[in-house]
Amino acid sequence: MRLEDKVAIITGGASGIGRATVHKFVREGARVLVADIDLRRAEDVVAEVTAAGFDGAAAAAQVDVSSFADVEAAVARAVEVFGKLDVMFNNAGIAGGKPLLDHDPEVDYAPMIRIDQDGVYHGILAAGRQFRDQGTGGVIISTSSIYGEQAAELAFSYSAAKAAVISFTRSAAYELAEFGVRAVAITPGRVGTPIINQFSEELRRTFASEQLRGVMTEPEEIADVVAFLASDESNAINGTVVHVDDGYSSFKQRFDLPTF
């Protein structure tokens, strides 16, 4: 098991990519703090882990990642329950948007920045301090997005926040290397999470067509990559962006070729 004896915090761990990653990590031998703003759903995930035969491998914590105090407390909780911290997966986030000129900054900008951007900053800072103090190194993985590298529809604030995650990752890798810490960002494309699955079937088909296989990526596929990045097998991957977008960023759109 590639994550044997590792301890991880997964923010946004109660659903979507986070929930899939919790299950992947415990199957790979890790112990996980499921950190989510919805404590009941986080506890439900812990119950799922226990029912799957991994009793004691997970614990729940209510965490608002926009609050540095909450994230610090989550790190302290992981250390209290499991004895240390090895992996921080900054995954919690929100989506949504509207045309820029229709923005209400307090509704359409500030919340996105507080959660998707500041939440990652808080996770990097709190985990980085813990790794330094432990003297054992660690791994910080943060969820950016394909939107962090390109312009997209209705995504002014979201794209800005996700671009910041990429910049944070590079800077964290640079500054924390002396403490044996790696930092990596992932950029998911169209993933079948509750956020996307709430949309119409027609829109979901359009989303799927933007990827090379023509299907949505499953949360479990992202979790597989995150588990690899958290493991010692990926020690050479540091300060970079790992695209988990099934080719979304490598092409525009398929079209029927004309007859030549």
Give the number of other CB atoms < 10 A from CB of residue 94. Answer: 16
Active site (catalytic) residues: 158
Q: What number of helices (H) and strands (E) belong to the chain?
A: 9, 7
**Residues contacting 251, CB < 8 A, separation 6+:** 212
Spatial strand order of the sheet with 181-188 comes to 58-62, 31-36, 7-11, 87-90, 138-143, 181-188, 241-244
125 exposure class (CB count in 10 Å sphere: 0-12, 13-18, 19+): middle
How many Cα atoms sit within 13 Å of 111 on the Cβ side? 10
**Cα Rg of the chain, angstroms:** 18
Cβ atoms of residues 126 and 78 within 8 Å:
no
